[in-house]
Each structure stands twice: as C-alpha cells, then as structure tokens.
Structure 1
C-alpha cells in the first residue's frame, strides 16, 4: 500500500457488511459523518483532472471550485475516467497511489477533524488516518474553501 511506502501511520478498517451510505460507513467505523473523506475526481479538460478531498456529506460550491481552478466549465469524471486516472473504482478512491499525477486539493473542513477515514482502493475497506498524517503524506497540496 502507498501509505506504507511513505511510512505514514494508519489503520485499515474492514466492513463486515456492504456500505451503502456515508452515514452507515461512519456508524460502522465509530465515527461521525464529518470524519468520512470523499475523494472526488473532476475533469477540467479532455486530459486534465483535479482530485478534491471533501469531509462529510456536504455539497461543495461548483462556482468556488471553478474559480479556484481557473476554469469556466468542469465536470465530475466518469467512472471510466476515475479508474483510468486513479486506478480505483468510484467509492474506493483515496488520494494515495494514483496511476497518473493530478492536482490535489483538500477542502479546509477536512482539517477540522483529528481522525479521518479515506478510501483504500478496495470495496468495503477504509483507511483510518490522522488529519496531520494525511497532510504529511500528501505533501504540498492546496487547502481550499469550497463551501459557501
């Protein structure tokens, strides 16, 4: 796993039953929904993508994201694009071990929690990690405000 190569402290959590919602994932892990980090891939142009980490169930502002990215039009990546760029299927995407280099942004709300859950690349499996360790592993990424 990419986190082990980076020597980043973390734990693996394996769900006993399939996860069908963010709320169930949080409950199973003994966490609040705000501790679950969604990793979302956006297509900026035909071959340009950006990865955004967002905590909890809230919806980011597309207007703010377009402004930060300097783009008038963006879309969410298709399942095929997500697999091609990250190497992971939708619902399992994490920010580590990506197949292709992409711009990574962390929504500021992610840093409000001490402990987080992120995608592991595998169904019904999550990575539990401290927010400080997440940021250490990500290195030089942008922290942005995406909620109005």
Structure 2
C-alpha cells in the first residue's frame, strides 16, 4: 500500500495533521464504509463515506457518517440547488480519479464543492478515505471542514 496518495499529498500541502490507517478492504462488502469502520474497530459515525453527487448539473461531494444515508433533498438545499442525485459509479471514478471504495474528498481531479453532515462535527475525530481502497486517514472534524472549505449542514436521513 502506498503511503503517499493524491489525498495524503493534498492534506500535507494544506498543513492538516492526520494519521494513516490501512485496513483490510473487502471488495464484496455491501456497504464499504461500514466494513471500514468494523475493520478499524471504530464506531461507524466516526468513519465517513465520500459520495459523489450531481446537484442542479454541478458535480459536488457529500461526506456523511458510514451508518447514515444522504438525503438528496437536504443535500440539494445545502448547495442552494433544487435537485440532487447520486453520480453513477463510473462517472464518479472519472470525475475524481479514484476507484469506488477509494474515493477521498481530498486530491480529486478537480476541486468540487463539498458538504459535510453536521453530525460529524460532534465526533472527537473522524476517518475519511485516504485515496485508495483500504486506506483511511484520521483527522479532527474541524480540520476536515477547513481544508475542504466545506459547507456543514444536516444532510442525512
């Protein structure tokens, strides 16, 4: 496993303190975020999943706890959009330059607007994908928000 990915390099460049946490990746897991939480021995509300979405035709990113579902209505509202829908996996891979299961909100091919579920800020630390399957990075939620310039809103059901 590579120690440096586009995501970790972006975090370093932004001066964000983080730690790497590799884990066994199960390609057959139905819910990758929950599988990562279990592999890390962390509560699922601390392990965040990165979802790529289209909001009124714009590519955006949603970062939510792995045990929650994103509300497309709430997500659209967070971006001032009328409609939002999940991006097709192949489109998400092309847009981010990452494989599904390894999509990070950091180091994507082009920076996109990002919304983080407000509940994530209540955690002492969070994990997000480190830019490849089986690699999570741990950081403080406030640093996640600051480094991404993210909108914080209640975007889950």
Give the structure-2-normalised TM-score.
0.81
* CA–CA distance in structure 2, aligned partners of residues 80 and 104 of structure 1: 19
What's the CA shift string for 1:87-130, capped at 9, x where partnerless? 11111111111111311111101111111110111111111112
Match of 1:18 in 2: 25
Count matched residues.
145
Match of 2:93 in 1: 83
Give the structure-1-normalised TM-score.
0.86
Q: Aligned to 1:59, what secondary structure does the other structure show?
A: coil
Q: Aligned to 2:45, what secondary structure does the other structure show?
A: helix
* CA–CA distance in structure 1, aligned partners of residues 20 and 106 of structure 2: 14
Match of 2:151 in 1: 142
Match of 2:44 in 1: 33
* CA–CA distance in structure 2, aligned partners of residues 96 and 74 of structure 1: 21
* CA–CA distance in structure 1, aligned partners of residues 132 and 114 of structure 2: 20
Q: Identify unmatched segments of 5+ residues in structure 1.
A: none
1:6 aligns with 2:9: no
Post-superposition offset of 1:71 = 3.7
Match of 2:134 in 1: 124
* CA–CA distance in structure 1, aligned partners of residues 146 and 77 of structure 2: 26
Q: Identify unmatched segments of 5+ residues in structure 2.
A: 1-8
Q: Give the one of 119, 133, 151 matched to 1:109.
A: 119
Q: Aligned to 1:35, what secondary structure does the other structure show?
A: coil
Residues 114, 132 of structure 1: 8 Å contact kept: no
